[in-house]
Each structure stands twice: as C-alpha cells, then as structure tokens.
Chains A and B, each alone.
Chain A
Amino acid sequence: MTNDVIIVGAGIVGAACARALAMAGFDVTVIDRGTTAGGTSSACEGNLLVSDKGPGRELELAQYAATLWTQAAVDLRTELGPDFPSVEYDPKGGLVVATTDAGAAPLLAFAAGQRSAGVDARVLDRAEALSLEPDLAPDFRAAVFYPEDSQVQPTIATEALMASARRHGARLIENTPVTGVLRDSAGALVGVTTAAGELRAARVLIAAGPWSGEVAASFGLVLPVLPRRGELLVTSRMRHRIFHKVYDADYVGAVGSNDSALQTSSVIESTAGGTVLIGSSRQQIGFDCRLQVDALAGIAAKALRLFPFLAGAAVMRTYGGFRPFMPDHLPVIGEDPRLPGLWHAAGHEGAGIGLSLATAEMIRDLMQGRPTRLDAAPFSPARDSLAPHLEQAA
C-alpha cells in the first residue's frame, strides 16, 4: 500500500492534516479550487473554545485540541522563524454572561456539567466579573469565566500550518477544482479528477469545510454537511477596553440549535489590531452571502446589552462565512465505509479552527492504523447518528 494522500481543501483542517501527515512521512498533495484559507478559515473569529461545548465527544476533542494549540504556537514560531507573521495565539480566556434571569440558571447548570467533565469553568460574582471586564454592563445575572478559551488569527494560523506542511514535503495545488473521483477498472478509488487532469493517490481526504458535501456529491456520495451563514461586525481601532472573549449565554444555544432561522448572540472581543469583533449571526440560507442589514442590526443590539459603551463605536466592516453544519452536531473524521480510500475531515461547524489540530492527529493515527488518542468511533462516517441522514438523503 502506498502512503500517498490527496487532501481536498486548503483551509485550516486541510492544512493541519497536511502537516500532521507530512510530518508522519506521508506523501501529501493538497488541492483547492481557490487559495489557502480562501473560505471559512479566513471568514471566522479564530475561536479555540471549550466554553460553548457541553460534556461529550466534541468537548473532549476540544479539550485535547487546546493542549495541541499551546504547543503548536511555539513549534510554528520556532519552525517558521521571526519573519513569518505571528499566529497571534492568545489564551485570553472567555467570559460567558447571562443578561437575564431566565438565562442565568441554564448557564450555571451548563457550567456545572462542564466542570464535571474537567472544564475550568469558574462562576464569578459581579465584582469579579467586572474586574475582568470593567466596561461590562453591570446588571448581568450570572457570569462564568473559562480560562481555557483562547484565540488564534485564523488566516495566519492556516498559512502557518500550510507553510509547515510544505516544509515537510507536502505539495499545494491552488486554483484547481476537483471534479470527481478516479476509480480503477474494479471501481476502487485511485485518485481524483481535476480541472487540470487526473491526480492519483491511494487515499483522498475531503477537508473542504462547508463545501465538503459538494465534493462528496461529485464523487457520487452523500455527505450531509450544510452551510450555516455566520456574520460579524468589525469596529475601528479603539483603546483596549475588552480583554477577554465575552459572550452572551445564548451563544451556547445558537451553536447547538438545529433551527434554520436567523439567530444572533453576542461574541465580542478585541483583536491584536485594536479593533473589536462583534458576532454573530447564524442562519441556514444555503450559500447565500448577500448582506442582510437586519441580521447586522440584531448583532449590534445584542452587543450593546453587554457593552453599552460600544454604542459610539464606528462599525467599519462586516464579513461573514459559511460554517460546516452537521445534523448531529459532530464533525465527521475518518474513512468512509462506502468507498474505501475516501476519508473525511469536515463538519466542524463553528469550531474548525480549534479542532483542526486534534482532527489532524486523529486522521494521521487512523491512516497509520495506530490507536487514536481519543476514541475515533463517535466521529466516524459510519456512526449511528449519521446513518439516517445518509439514508434519508440517499
């Protein structure tokens, strides 16, 4: 068996997988219809969160991923040198705030559950919370601090992982759409067809984020990854006044929801450039990226409940992206039983930046036939919770 892999998608998951596999001695080719970090990876916040995840498999993956990022930030800087832009890894911590009585009890219960799963989730009193965030509207009902929540600049992180992968021998082919699967006479997978010809490999890994469903469809397979639109506002630079990631407690609900209607919840933080990012909306509207002012207005209104001083902040930009949404809320990581040689690393919803490194390790271990650090079965394309969606669609 040859050790070559084609990775479809040069976002952060594809880049992380390329790096992990190349470092393990695989012969890796990354192919993308656009350029590195051209999709979701450059249209998101760069969250490395545990705070939004309840006890379960995804939380375990996120907890493990957090340890990987601490190390990767150091390794990438050492490997790529001072000329490479910083990935801006910042373990700044997250503060989740319930602004209503109705939201307080669920937040505290959620945090208690997380603590039992090993998450550092500290319930703060008013004075403690205000000492972390002095400009927070003081009439909140509950606050929980998550010191493990951290942050990278997602575009630079993707570029850094890809640059590292290339230093370890991975090839990158940009601006070349994959058009289908290449099979031998017996029907076995032997590579992909692309707009620029055939590309052969024993394994093909789809890491195309929200477009993974489209790639799978071009292979004749159903993969129920759906795009979920998320929109953010960016203010002009201001004096540093927001020191952590600060969320409204209903963020937790929006991420876990199956509701396709527009939802907004506050996610507010400062960037290294001195701007403030204000998110976010979540809406299942296909790949429709047209501006929706009412969504932006909703984001703005909720942000003001947390930080009233932002009323005078100048919004200078909005950007949005498509999060790869899975119907059972777990990423799909592993080999596809329907087509041996086809692998998936997709469907991370809003957590792909954080989970990328842990996903890549799992893919590497599985491809090497080695035991995985965490149980891979819950993420398998063959898992039970995914089966009805595969059948339903098929």
Chain B
Amino acid sequence: MTAVLVIGAGPAGLAAARAARARGASVTLLDAADELGGQFWRHLPASRPASNERVLHHGWDTFRDLAETLEFDDGCRILRQASVFAIETRGSGPAEVHIVVGEADGAGRDRLVLRPDAIVVATGAHDRTLPFPGWDLPGVFTGGAAQALAKSERLAVGERVVVAGAGPFLLPVAASLAATGSRVVGVFEANRVPALVRGWLPKPWQLSGAVSKGGELAGYVSGHLRHRIPYRLGRMVVGAHGTDRVEAVTIAAVAPDWTPIPGTEQRIEVDAVCVSHGFTPRLELAIAAGCALTADRFVEVDAGQETSVPGVYAAGEVTGIGGADLALAEGTIAGHVAAGGTLTDAELQRPVRRRTTFTRFAERLDAAHGIRSGWPAVVTDDTIVCRCEEVTYGQLRQTVSSTGSRSLRALKLSTRAGLGICQGRVCGRSVETLLAGCQPDGLLGDPVSTDRRPIAGTIRLGELAAAPTTALPTTSTPSPSIEGTP
C-alpha cells in the first residue's frame, strides 16, 4: 500500500487525501491548525460549533462531506497542530518530512520524522500586501486577517472599515466584515475598468462553468449588493494615519499602472483598514523538497499534478492562484495519481475538466486584477518595507547606492530587510522589486529569491535538540519509519 502524506488540510489537501484513500493508499493528512478546512473554510471551533455555519461559506457542504469522510476513515491519519519545519532530501524516497506536533509555537512539542512514499504539497497561499506609508500601524490588517477573525471567532476588526487592494478576494473580505457587524465604507480596487474588461470579457464561455449560479464569486457579488457596499475601481490606499492605531486612510485614484494621481487624494475616517493585493504561494516546503518553480514562481506540475521531483505532487494555490474550486480539482487529481492512479482513470475525468475550466478562469482573474508595475510610487523614503526589522525604503535605496551592490542576498544581509522572524514572507517579494528598481538597469545580479526558507516555521531550540519521540508508521514497508536523532 502506498503511503501518501498530504501537507495542508484546505480544499486541495482534503480533496487529495480523499482521492488517495479512494485509490487505496494509506494517508496521513496534516495541518498546522487544529481544525480542518484551511484558510478558505475557517469556521467556529469545535468548542463553539455553529448550527448554520454554511451561510458564511462557499461550498460548506463539500467541506463537511470531505472532512467527515476522512475523519471516520481509519486509513486516514489526521495530524492536527502539526507544523512541518524542515524537509530533507538526502535519503531515499521523495523526502524526509520533519514535523513538530502540539500547540502553536508551544515548547516541547513532539518531533516526528515521516518518510512517505509520496507527498502532496497543498500549503496554499497567504495575502500579499504591498507596503504603503502607515501600513505598520495597528488597525491595518490584511484581508485574510479580517476574514480569519470573522470566520473563526465572529470578531469584526473594526466598526468603520475600508477594504482595499486588488482582486476578487476583496469581495468575500467585505462580505465577511459586513456579516460580522462592520460597516464597510468602501471597497477600493486598484485596477480600472479597461483591465477588468480585458480580463473578464473576452471568451465569456470560458467563464460559464466557473461563475455558474451559486458559484463562489457570484455569491459574493450578490452579498455585496445586499449590503450596499460601495465598490470603486482605480483607487488605492496610499496612506494610513494615526499615532497608536489607524484613525484614517488616504485613498487616491491611480493610473492603469497603479501610480497614484496627485490631487485625487481623499481622506476617510476609519478604525480599521484591510488591504490585500493578491496572494503569495507558500512555497518553502515545495522548494525544500526540491521542486522546480515556474517563471511566475508557482510550483511547476505536470498533468498529473506531479512536480519535478518524482513522488512529490502539488495542488491548490501553490501551483497558481485559482480559488477553491480549482484547488478541489487539482487536489483530487494529485491524490489519485500520488496513490498510483493515472490521469486516464474514469474518476479523474470530471476533475480534469473542471481544472481546465477554473484554470482559464484564474488566468482571466489575474489579467484583470494582477499587481501592476507602478505600485512602488506609493512608497516614500520613510515607509517601512520590512515590517519585522523596520527597514525603510530610504535605507534600501541608500544601501544600494552606497555599496553599489547588485546582489539580493548581500543587500538583504546589509540592510536586514527580510531577515526578521517572518523571514520575508510579508515583504520578500516587495523587497526584491524595490531593490531591483534601485539598480541602474532595474535588475538584480544574483539568481536567488526570498522564497527559500530551509526552516519552514519557527521551532524552539529545545525541540530541535530533542530526539523524535512519537512513532507513527507511514510507509508500506515494515521497517521503522521514524528515526531518532543521535
């Protein structure tokens, strides 16, 4: 029996686990959270279950079906609160996966080493928020934060809230806020009508499968209309103001490349602002496993969702930002193939078709809502770019000019940008863009990126020093699959 490890229990991971089980594999499904569902299906916890949770979610019944199937299946081990902190590729098999299991950021968590026959990386994505003056003030949140607190705690991050940035994700964020009692005073999408038209209108038949009645986006749009939330195009937050917390934001009209247009600024009093400009895939585990990336920096996969590393599969947002329906299709394919199935098997015909539909949909969304090259114009010399190390744009600029360095690696080490505890997860790609923009030819000289993080999540030194403590069989072979550290 093939032992499949699925990393991440969002839509892609859940679908992969079920498909792998259906194909007869033994499955271990792990997630850092203590509830299944990932960011997409975050919900009130088991300690306070809601009887009508589905009103907040797209595809809630799909989730319940997946979760219950796996929870009642003895062939699927579910490891909650399990964080992969490293993947090692020195041994045989696709990889050794090093895990700590226990309370988030706890001490003395159990350390495990798994050696599965196949791995499905379904680690998802997180918000990408571009830096702007004041974005480090308390009360400035990512859209994902507002969403998570609303869904899993029924907490509204503010009473008067602006939602801004780019992308269709702004709509569910606003909807969640409204459904949690916030007054959303406006949603500001940086892209303008021509971009949206280019992205959305040509070949509308490609969308027909994706925006069907009751589809994810259709639901948000109707929710939006219901709450009468103003939706403005071609506008961006260019500043957040306040001393100890955000008290107001400045919104400005922006050119098609997102350069703010002087004279269009408008100040809005708020007690919270939620800003997201898209998503960054969580690539560190795929990179640690040795997987090749595409030119636009997602995990490269073949038709069977297999990465460049045999036995390692990827599904969901790590292969391209496409939403939950695409993630479900990809996860199903990945899990089935990882468990020994083939793409031509009958059970994959529907997911393969759906993957095609939703991939096109995702490409169109990206064309409509993607980040535009003029965004750095909003960043001033005293804007903090790296939040952890409080490195300003002025420091980046000055260091490039004084050292003459063209190396991202050296400039990170010289400025400390991206060296803080988030390890560049928030600022990394923005730092890359800004540092490149400081170069005479707009290019950095070394082939590194900020996506590589060999320690994939913080681990206490005492936990690292301890030998793995819990045995958990994961492979088909009878030999022990857990090895202690000498």
Residues of A within 8 A of B (CB): 34-38, 42, 80-81, 83-85, 153, 155-156, 158-160, 162-163, 166, 172, 174-175, 233, 235-237, 273, 275, 278, 290-294, 296-298, 300-301, 303-304, 310-319
Beta-carbon contact of A85 and B402 below 8 Å? yes
User: Given contacts A155-B413, A318-B455, is CB(A294)–CB(B461) below 8 Å?
Assistant: no
Inter-chain CA distance A298–B464, complex, in Å, is 9
Beta-carbon contact of A38 and B410 below 8 Å? yes
Inter-chain CA distance A233–B113, complex, in Å, is 20
CB contacts (< 8 Å) of A294 on chain B: these are 485-486
Contact pick for B414, options A156, A313, A318, CB 8 Å: A156
Q: Within the complex, what minimum Cβ distance (angstroms) separates B385 from chain A? A: 16
Q: Is B453 an interface residue (CB 8 A)?
A: yes
Q: Is B419 an interface residue (CB 8 A)?
A: yes
CB contacts (< 8 Å) of A236 on chain B: these are 420-421, 458
Beta-carbon contact of B414 and A300 below 8 Å? no
Contact pick for B402, options A35, A163, A316, CB 8 Å: A163
Beta-carbon contact of A166 and B404 below 8 Å? yes
Give residues 383-415 of B contacting A (CB, 8 Å). Answer: 389, 398-399, 401-407, 409-410, 413-415
Q: Is B61 an interface residue (CB 8 A)?
A: no
CB contacts (< 8 Å) of B402 on chain A: these are 80-81, 83-85, 163
Stretch at the interface among B47-55, B82-90, B183-191, B202-210: B82-90
Q: Within the complex, what minimum Cβ distance (angstroms) separates A211 from chain B? A: 15
Beta-carbon contact of A317 and B453 below 8 Å? yes
Contact pick for A35, options B96, B406, B420, B423, CB 8 Å: B406
* B431-466 interface bits toward A, Cβ cutoff 8 Å, 1 = contact, 0 = none: 000000000000001100000011100111110111
Inter-chain CA distance A304–B458, complex, in Å, is 17
CB contacts (< 8 Å) of B86 on chain A: these are 291, 293, 296
Beta-carbon contact of B288 and A37 below 8 Å? no
Inter-chain CA distance A37–B464, complex, in Å, is 30
User: Given contacts A237-B420, A300-B464, is CB(A155)–CB(B88) below 8 Å?
Assistant: no
Beta-carbon contact of A297 and B399 below 8 Å? no
Contact pick for B88, options A159, A235, A292, CB 8 Å: A292
- Closest A residue to B467 by CB, please name it: A297
CB contacts (< 8 Å) of A235 on chain B: these are 461
Can you list the 7 inter-chain pairs with the closest CB atoms, starting with the nearest? A311-B462, A35-B407, A300-B465, A155-B413, A301-B465, A314-B458, A300-B464
Beta-carbon contact of A315 and B464 below 8 Å? yes
Beta-carbon contact of A291 and B288 below 8 Å? yes
Beta-carbon contact of A156 and B416 below 8 Å? no
Inter-chain CA distance A34–B86, complex, in Å, is 28
Q: Is B71 an interface residue (CB 8 A)?
A: no
Inter-chain CA distance A338–B389, complex, in Å, is 50
Beta-carbon contact of A313 and B460 below 8 Å? yes
CB contacts (< 8 Å) of B423 on chain A: these are 316-317
CB contacts (< 8 Å) of B96 on chain A: these are 293
Beta-carbon contact of B454 and A312 below 8 Å? no
Q: Is B98 an interface residue (CB 8 A)?
A: yes
Beta-carbon contact of A174 and B445 below 8 Å? yes
Q: Within the complex, what minimum Cβ distance (angstroms) separates B203 from chain A? A: 42
CB contacts (< 8 Å) of A275 on chain B: these are 419
Beta-carbon contact of B406 and A174 below 8 Å? yes
Beta-carbon contact of B410 and A42 below 8 Å? yes
Q: Within the complex, what minimum Cβ distance (angstroms) separates B146 from chain A? A: 26
- Closest A residue to B87 by CB, please name it: A291
Q: Is B107 an interface residue (CB 8 A)?
A: yes
Residues of B within 8 A of A (CB): 86-90, 96, 98, 105, 107, 113, 288, 389, 398-399, 401-407, 409-410, 413-416, 419-421, 423, 445-446, 453-455, 458-462, 464-467, 485-486
Beta-carbon contact of A315 and B459 below 8 Å? yes
Beta-carbon contact of B461 and A303 below 8 Å? yes
User: Given contacts A237-B420, A294-B486, is CB(A316)–CB(B413) below 8 Å?
Assistant: no
Beta-carbon contact of A314 and B459 below 8 Å? yes
Beta-carbon contact of B454 and A273 below 8 Å? no
- Closest A residue to B419 by CB, please name it: A273
CB contacts (< 8 Å) of A38 on chain B: these are 407, 409-410, 446
Inter-chain CA distance A341–B416, complex, in Å, is 40
Beta-carbon contact of A83 and B405 below 8 Å? no
Q: Within the complex, what minimum Cβ distance (angstroms) separates B180 from chain A? A: 32
**Secondary structure at chain A's binding surface: helix, strand, loop or mixed?**
mixed
Inter-chain CA distance A224–B445, complex, in Å, is 30
Inter-chain CA distance A297–B113, complex, in Å, is 13
Beta-carbon contact of B407 and A36 below 8 Å? yes
Q: Within the complex, what minimum Cβ distance (angstroms) separates B430 from chain A? A: 19
CB contacts (< 8 Å) of B467 on chain A: these are 297
CB contacts (< 8 Å) of A160 on chain B: these are 403
Contact pick for A314, options B403, B410, B421, B486, CB 8 Å: B421
- Closest A residue to B90 by CB, please name it: A290
- Closest A residue to B395 by CB, please name it: A85
Beta-carbon contact of A315 and B405 below 8 Å? no
Inter-chain CA distance A297–B389, complex, in Å, is 27
Q: Within the complex, what minimum Cβ distance (angstroms) separates A339 from chain B? A: 30
User: Given contacts A35-B406, A237-B421, is CB(A273)–CB(B458) below 8 Å?
Assistant: no
Give the interface centre of A38, A291, A304, A312 by most chain B CB atoms within 10 Å: A291
Extra 10 A-B pairs, beta carbons < 8 Å, given A84-B403, A155-B414: A81-B402, A83-B398, A236-B458, A291-B454, A298-B486, A300-B465, A304-B462, A315-B455, A315-B461, A316-B458
Inter-chain CA distance A319–B409, complex, in Å, is 12
Beta-carbon contact of B410 and A36 below 8 Å? yes
**Can you offer 20 A-B residue contacts whose CB atoms are under 8 A?**
A35-B407, A38-B409, A42-B410, A84-B403, A85-B403, A155-B414, A163-B404, A275-B419, A278-B461, A291-B86, A291-B87, A291-B454, A293-B96, A297-B485, A311-B465, A313-B460, A313-B461, A316-B423, A317-B419, A317-B455
Beta-carbon contact of B485 and A293 below 8 Å? yes
User: Given contacts A85-B399, A163-B404, is CB(A34)–CB(B485) below 8 Å?
Assistant: no
Inter-chain CA distance A160–B405, complex, in Å, is 10
Beta-carbon contact of A312 and B413 below 8 Å? no
Inter-chain CA distance A264–B366, complex, in Å, is 48
Beta-carbon contact of A316 and B414 below 8 Å? no
Inter-chain CA distance A85–B411, complex, in Å, is 10
Inter-chain CA distance A130–B409, complex, in Å, is 37
CB contacts (< 8 Å) of B88 on chain A: these are 290-293
CB contacts (< 8 Å) of B454 on chain A: these are 291, 317-319
Contact pick for A273, options B89, B398, B404, B416, CB 8 Å: B416
Q: Within the complex, what minimum Cβ distance (angstroms) separates B85 from chain A? A: 8
CB contacts (< 8 Å) of A313 on chain B: these are 460-461
User: Given contacts A38-B446, A236-B458, A314-B458, is CB(A290)–CB(B421) below 8 Å?
Assistant: no
Beta-carbon contact of A153 and B413 below 8 Å? yes
CB contacts (< 8 Å) of A291 on chain B: these are 86-90, 288, 454
Contact pick for B90, options A278, A292, A297, A304, CB 8 Å: A292
- Closest A residue to B421 by CB, please name it: A236
Q: Within the complex, what minimum Cβ distance (angstroms) separates B84 from chain A? A: 11
Give the interface centre of B405, B407, B461 by most chain A CB atoms within 10 Å: B461
Q: Within the complex, what minimum Cβ distance (angstroms) separates B381 from chain A? A: 13
Inter-chain CA distance A293–B460, complex, in Å, is 14
Beta-carbon contact of B410 and A155 below 8 Å? yes
